[in-house]
Structure 1
Amino acid sequence: MARKSSPSGNMPTQRQLRAGELVRHAVSDILAREDLRDPELVGVIVTVGEVRCSPDLRHANVFVSPLGDDTEKGRTALAEALNRAAGFLRGRLGREIDLKFTPQLHFIADKSYDEATAIDRLLADPRVKRDLEPE
């Protein structure tokens, strides 16, 4: 029986993490050098924040955001456009990486930058700073 990385099984295994980083670097390289025909993707610089692979490595959730457009609408439109081009990108990915199976790509709008900004804003609040400083 396979051993999980945590008793609850929620944490990814080392294999999933390695494959996720491999896919993240490859997808970033492909998006940087390929000319995609979708009008919504022309001239857009894409930031690939994270890739989470399924335990069998057949599916990968790719968290993306457009560089310079930090609106929810821009991120959602980018994810939808990349999902339309997922078949093309998967074909290119298969040539780039050395895995038994090329994972199905599922693009998701990355909201982690917004969450980090909100946390920074909270920590910069004078009332919170007062509580964090040692007496």
Structure 2
Amino acid sequence: MAKEFSRNQRVAEQLRRELADLLQFEVKDPRAAKVTLTEVDVSGDLSHAKIYFVTQSADAQSAAAALTKAAGFLRSQLSHRMLMRTVPQLHFVYDESLDRGMRMSQLIDQANSDSSDKS
């Protein structure tokens, strides 16, 4: 019987939880404190982790810069919290799926209101 979750998925979920905690309580940069982690993808050899995030502020580039700047600190803190031989290198990527979803919802609402106006 196959395992329900692979090691990569378990590591990714643990990384997401630990990083969210670190960003909320340990990182002092206010640009990095206003982010929400949506997903973590870990490479097959566990050497790289791609962390997807969304931000409440309008400037996603400054949030990405703050997270990239804090990546070394976050990685060192993860090494103390997780029982792994090596902690993956952290790569932060802005998650545009939420923005695309909201834009699609607006377009659907607009199309529905246009069709009801014509009736």
Output aligned runs, 1:1-135, within 5 Å.
14-36=6-28, 38=29, 40-41=31-32, 44-67=33-56, 69=57, 71=58, 74-124=59-109, 125-126=111-112
Task: Note if contact 1:64-1:75 (Cα within 8 Å) is conserved in structure 2.
Answer: no
* Number of residue pairs the alignment of both structures matches: 111
Unaligned 5+ residue runs, structure 2? Answer: none
Superposed CA offset, 1:26-56 (max 9, x none)? 10000011143x5744xx3221111111111
TM-score (norm: length of structure 1): 0.70
Determine the C-alpha separation between the residues in 1 that align with 2:94 and 2:103.
Answer: 17
Residue 75 of structure 1: CA displacement? 1.0
Q: Tell me how large the CA RMSD over aligned residues is.
A: 2.5
Residue 115 of structure 1: CA displacement? 1.5
TM-score (norm: length of structure 2): 0.78
Determine the C-alpha separation between the residues in 2 that align with 1:102 and 1:57.
Answer: 8
SS at match of 1:48: strand
SS at match of 1:64: strand
Q: After the TM superposition, which of the residue ranges 13-22 and 94-103 deviates more from structure 2?
A: 13-22
Determine the C-alpha separation between the residues in 2 that align with 1:16 and 1:105.
Answer: 15
- Identify if the C-alpha distance between structure 1 residues 126 and 60 changes in structure 2 by more than 3 Å, giving closer, same or farther: same
Q: Give 1 or 2: higher helix fraction.
A: 2
Question: Among the aligned pairs, what percent are the same residue?
Answer: 34
Task: Note if contact 2:27-2:70 (Cα within 8 Å) is conserved in structure 1.
Answer: no
Task: Note if contact 2:34-2:55 (Cα within 8 Å) is conserved in structure 1.
Answer: yes
Q: What amino acid sits opposite 2:112 in the alignment?
A: P
SS at match of 2:92: strand
- Identify if the C-alpha distance between structure 1 residues 15 and 76 changes in structure 2 by more than 3 Å, giving closer, same or farther: same
Determine the C-alpha separation between the residues in 1 that align with 2:31 and 2:35.
Answer: 12
